[in-house]
Amino acid sequence: MIYEIFNFFLPNECLICRTYLPQGRQILCAECHESLPIATEEEKERQFNKAFRTSDIENFESLYSFTKNSALQDLVHELKYNQRFTFGKFLGKCVAEELRTKLNEWNIDCLLPIPLHHVKRSERGYNQAYYIAKGLSESFSIPVDTNLIKRVRFTQTQTALNSEQRKLNVMDAFRINKKKKIKIKTVALIDDVITTGSTMKECARILKSAGVEKIYAISVGLA
Judge whether 67 and 110 are in contact, CB under 8 Å. no
The amino acid sitting at 50 is K
Alpha carbons 200 and 204: distance in angstroms, whole number: 6
Least Cβ distance, residue 28 to Zn ion (angstroms): 6
Nearer to Zn ion, 6 or 20 (CB): 20
Least Cβ distance, residue 7 to Zn ion (angstroms): 16
- Report the b/e string of 138-177 with b at 16+ CB within 10 A: ebbebebbeebbebeeebeebeebeeeebbebbeebbebe
Least Cβ distance, residue 15 to Zn ion (angstroms): 7
Nearer to Zn ion, 32 or 110 (CB): 32
Nearer to Zn ion, 84 or 134 (CB): 84
Nearer to Zn ion, 14 or 76 (CB): 14
Nearer to Zn ion, 74 or 164 (CB): 74
State the DSSP H helix or E strand holding residue 134, giving kind and residue range, or none if neither: helix 128-140
Least Cβ distance, residue 84 to Zn ion (angstroms): 16
Alpha carbons 62 and 65: distance in angstroms, whole number: 8
State the DSSP H helix or E strand holding residue 61, giving kind and residue range, or none if neither: strand 57-65
Which residues of the chain form contacts with Zn ion (CB under 5 A)? 14, 16-17, 29, 32
Integer distance in angstroms from the first to the last C-alpha of the chain? Answer: 42
